[in-house]
Amino acid sequence: MSAPASQASVTVARLAASHLSKRYGHVAALNDVSVEFRPGLTGIIGDNGAGKSTLLKIFSGVEVPDEGAVLIDGEPVLLDSARVARRAGIESLYQDLALVETMSIAHNIFLGRELTRRVAGLCLVDRRKMRQAADEALRKVRIAMPPSRTGVRQLSGGQRQAVALARAMRFGARVVLLDEPTAALGPRETAAVLGIVRDMADRGETVVMVGHNLPQMLELADNLLVMRAGRVVATPDPRATTLRDLTEFMVGSLD
């Protein structure tokens, strides 16, 4: 559907979807949505309930669409579980973070990807290596954090978000999906996280970020998707769009 960035248009999108629809009872959360995600940062904006999280959840394997297909490198794939999506190289930060409260920071970062060592044919967890690697990953997030052996239960909302972010970024995924990654962060931490997200995009990774801060999105994103009531209503070029335009896309005509 979209008019993708100039030189990238010849290549196939790393991650795409065609004609996705998803209903929850009478609510059409997604209605015939087609998108393409290419290297760089794609921002998704839209009012509450516009369907942003639902779209990301379909790529994360959490929800299965009623209609339409997800394409990886142009090939249709069935993402019917989070496990399958993660294996396909799609890493997610969920809006509700999905952390295990009873475990440490380190164990949350490596949840499902535990570092192990083999001893006499047994698969043993390597706690020390996970702690070290987790401390390393957290340093990159540049948010004040206790040591990675600390329980997640003891963290503030922003620190939890940092843990989820460190997890989403650590594994060199094909595509990183971030659902409001700065929602719980203070201004300084937000700047730090956005800096990291921008860095990733500059390194040529494919990053998709849902956010409500329009000026920020305009400044940061390479591509924009505006959603309204389950549809993608515009894919404006952030360099040639004003705030007023965006608001208009989101809520309909302003006059």
Q: Which is nearer to other proteins, 12 or 78 (CB)?
A: 78
Site string for Mg ion, 24-63 (x = CB under 5 A): -----------------------------x----------
Q: Does 24 bind ligand ATP (CB under 6 A)?
A: yes
Q: Which two tokens stand for residue 249?
A: 């896309």
62 binds ligand ATP (CB under 6 A): no
Rounded to 5°, angle at Cα 210 from 255 and 198? 115
Our finding on whether 131 is near other proteins (CB under 8 A) is yes
Pairing mode of beta strands 40-46, 223-228: parallel
User: C-beta of 223: minimal distance to other proteins in Å?
Assistant: 26
Residue 178 · residue 126 · CB < 8 Å = no
From candidates 48, 96, 121, 123, binder to ligand ATP by CB under 6 A: 48
Task: Identify whether the C-beta of residue 212 lies closer than 8 Å to the C-beta of residue 180.
Answer: yes
Q: Residue 49, interface with ligand ATP (CB under 6 A)?
A: yes
Supply the minimum distance, in Å, between the C-beta of residue 72 and other proteins. Answer: 17
Could you give the string, one character per residue 86-105, with x where binding to ligand ATP holds by CB under 6 A and - elsewhere?
Answer: ---------x----------
Give how many residues touch other proteins by CB under 8 A: 38
The whole-angstrom separation of Cα 168 and Cα 234 is 27
From candidates 145, 165, 176, 218, binder to other proteins by CB under 8 A? 145
What does the alpha-carbon distance between residue 90 and residue 176 come to, in Å, rounded to a whole number? 6
Q: Of 102, 99, 108, whose CA–CA distance to 134 is shortest?
A: 108
Closest approach of other proteins to the CB of residue 86, in Å: 5
- Give me the residues that bind other proteins (CB under 8 A), please: 60, 62, 81-83, 86-87, 92, 94, 98-103, 107-108, 111-114, 116, 122-125, 131, 135, 138-139, 144-150, 154
- Give me the residues that bind Mg ion (CB under 5 A), please: 53, 95
- Give me the residues that bind ligand ATP (CB under 6 A), please: 24, 27, 29, 46, 48-54, 95
